[in-house]
Amino acid sequence: MTWFLILTRRTPNFREEVVGEHRAYLRELAGQGRLGLSGPFADGSGGAYLVRAADLEEARQTALADPLYARGASALTVKEWQTVEPEAYRGEA
pLDDT tens per residue, the chain (93 residues)?
899 999 999 999 999 999 999 999 999 999 999 999 999 999 999 999 999 999 999 999 999 999 999 999 999 999 999 988 888 888 765
pLDDT at 35 (0 to 100): 98
pLDDT at 12 (0 to 100): 97
pLDDT at 71 (0 to 100): 96
- Asked if 2 contacts 80 with a C-beta cutoff of 8 angstroms, the reply is yes
- Asked if 21 contacts 67 with a C-beta cutoff of 8 angstroms, the reply is yes
pLDDT at 45 (0 to 100): 97
pLDDT at 70 (0 to 100): 96
Q: All domains of the chain, ordered by start, with CATH?
A: 2-79 (3.30.70.1060)
Q: What are phi and psi of 51, to 5 degrees?
A: -130, 150
d(CA 19, CA 2): 26
- The count of C-alpha atoms lying within 13 angstroms of the C-alpha of 3, restricted to the half-sphere facing its C-beta, is 14
pLDDT at 80 (0 to 100): 96
- Asked if 63 contacts 6 with a C-beta cutoff of 8 angstroms, the reply is yes
Q: CB-based burial of residue 26 (10 Å sphere; 0-12 exposed, 13-18 middle, 19+ buried)?
A: middle
pLDDT at 92 (0 to 100): 65
